[in-house]
Amino acid sequence: MCGIVGYIGKEQAAPILLDGLKKLEYRGYDSAGIALLNAGDIDIVKAKGRLKVLYEMTDGGKAVKGTCGIGHTRWATHGEPSENNAHPHCNDEKTIAAVHNGIIENYAELKEKLIKRGYKFYSQTDTEVATKLVDYYYKKYGDPLRAISEFALRVRGSYALAVIYKDFPETVFAIRKDSPMIIGVAGGAAYLASDVPAILKYTKSVYYVDNLQIARLERGGVTFFNLDREEVEKEIVKITWDAEAAEKGGFEHFMLKEIHEQPKVVKDTVNYIYQNGNLGFSEVGLSDKDFKKINGLIIVGCGSAYHVGLVMQYVTEDLARVPVRVELASEFRYRNPVVNGELVIAISQSGETADTLAAVRAAKEAGLKTLAIVNVVGSSIAREADYVFYTKAGPEISVATTKAYSAQLVAGYTFALKLAKIRKTIEDNEYSKLLKELSALPEKLELLLSQKEQIQKFAAKTMDKKDVFFIGRGVDYAVSVEGSLKLKEISYIHSEAYAAGELKHGTISLIENGTLVFGVLTQKKLAEKTLSNLVETASRGALIAAVASEGITLPEKGLDFVLRIPETDERFAASLAVIPLQFFAYYLSVLRGNDVDKPRNLAKSVTVE
């Protein structure tokens, strides 16, 4: 949510800031603004709406002078989307300006105290409170670092805060807590951002700012401090993917590009673990002894990551015969769960998901070991977990996840297989067979991509639907939940997913003439029962569609649309069955004229509660 950029160097800053903000549009926003240190003053330009409004106001940044500045895209939390509530915010004298991601939980209390000290407020935001709190301590102590450390000692909540001072015209100061921030240095310039794509064009060498760490950016250099304002050393991290990976590459939308990248990311993620004919988790930090200690799993995640956990539950329990429970991270963190030494697996694309990060911390407080399955090197969850499995999805720009979901699925498969091998719950020949099936998935995914035109035609016939249901059993139910979420996210059509056997327990009353019902059928032992449920809905006027494995026997009549997926081991079928559902959601969204990559009200990285 929201995006931050900062720059100090020799070039005009505003075009660089706007370029960085454009790279962060996928995070979701409703207003934008920049602040520049210019000839002893701070110039601020803000606008409600899309970034193009700010571009037009500033002639692409050319109209705003200065070589040091900060920028922000805001996703409304405190206060409606408006120019007043947009960032950057400033003090009364306009000698300090700041941008902020996150939520200051005690902002009302702090605001009241500042009002008593003579401060006035023009916005409804917690960020203006944060800015004026920094201003208060700067005026009190005359030290920009101390002002920021005093701010950190008095606020509760999450934040990534970047500040510029009129008195320090070639410096950007920053601090973070539970909200991502990276800093890059190259060519006599320093860059700050909330995510890598914003600065990848300029540098691949970045620092990941730690919690409660202050950074001082100057031309070509950065210095880090703890809250006592003592210098600390940090290691630089090299980004392994290039700027082109974050571009559309000729596709109409990022989502379509990322759907087509799934064969590659699945292959790369499997190869990360599968080497020399075996699965090795040394890169993850897990030894065979660690696997032997596992007596159960708790999987936590949000949204699509939670859905990966549902698939992983079926696969792991079936293969490794250990108890697995899947929890919404936003619920796990607030419960007092009964635990018994389980390994907690936290799944997150960004590695910054606020609820999942909090769940990791809750698990560690309970004395449990944690494994992160994340896509971003150096992210908060990766740094705090005991073990880290880095998926190889590369940058995912579209808000609706596709390739990151697929990479997480195969990461889960490899973990389940390794655990089964260590626990000796499968024979060696079965283990070898499943490894071959894993290696064959990318080629089968490629075959599925060639069927997109069939799905596009079906989407055109059903674009007027107001209600869609997805049903399945076992792994197929887990796929149905993800398919339903994709449809809701980007088409804005009401959609629900149900375990097929639950239809008759109330839900079937919602089926009426023309309702679209998707059945997912990849599990041979369960397919006949799910087909019976589909027939039940057809008899009530529903339009029936099915995604089915080649080996599933289907009736010659009664199904309005069928898309076949290649045969694979049933435990891995989710990787194939989800592709048609991704395409279906994508084409419906396009046909309805929606902004596919930036759906309304949603953000890519949910870094606040």
SS (H, E, C) 338-363: CCCCCEEEEEECCCCCHHHHHHHHHH
Active-site residue 604, yes or no? Answer: yes
Torsion of CA 586, 589, 590, 592, to 10 degrees: 160
**Cα atoms in the 13 Å half-sphere on the side-chain side of 546:** 27
Contact 159, 587 (CB under 8 A): no
CA distance 327 to 202: 40
Residue from 346, 361, 334 nearest 298 by CA: 346
Catalytic residue chosen out of the listed positions 2, 68, 90, 302: 2
Phi-psi sector, 541: left (phi>0), alpha (psi -120 to 50), beta: left
- List own/partner pairs for 492-496 with CB under 8 A and 24 or more apart: 492/592, 492/594, 492/599, 492/600, 493/465, 493/466, 493/467, 493/468, 493/588, 494/466, 494/467, 494/468, 495/467, 495/468, 495/469, 495/470, 496/468, 496/469, 496/470
Amino acid at 13: A
CA distance 112 to 121: 11
CA 482 to centroid of chain Cα atoms: 15
Question: ∠75-88-178 over CA atoms, to 5°?
Answer: 55
Catalytic residue chosen out of the listed positions 22, 46, 444, 604: 604
CA distance 285 to 413: 17
Tokens standing for residue 274 = 């599968």
Helices marked H in 5-125 — which ranges?
A: 13-23, 51-58, 107-116
Handedness of CA 430, 436, 438, 440 (dihedral sign): negative
**Any idea which residues carry the catalytic annotation?**
2, 604
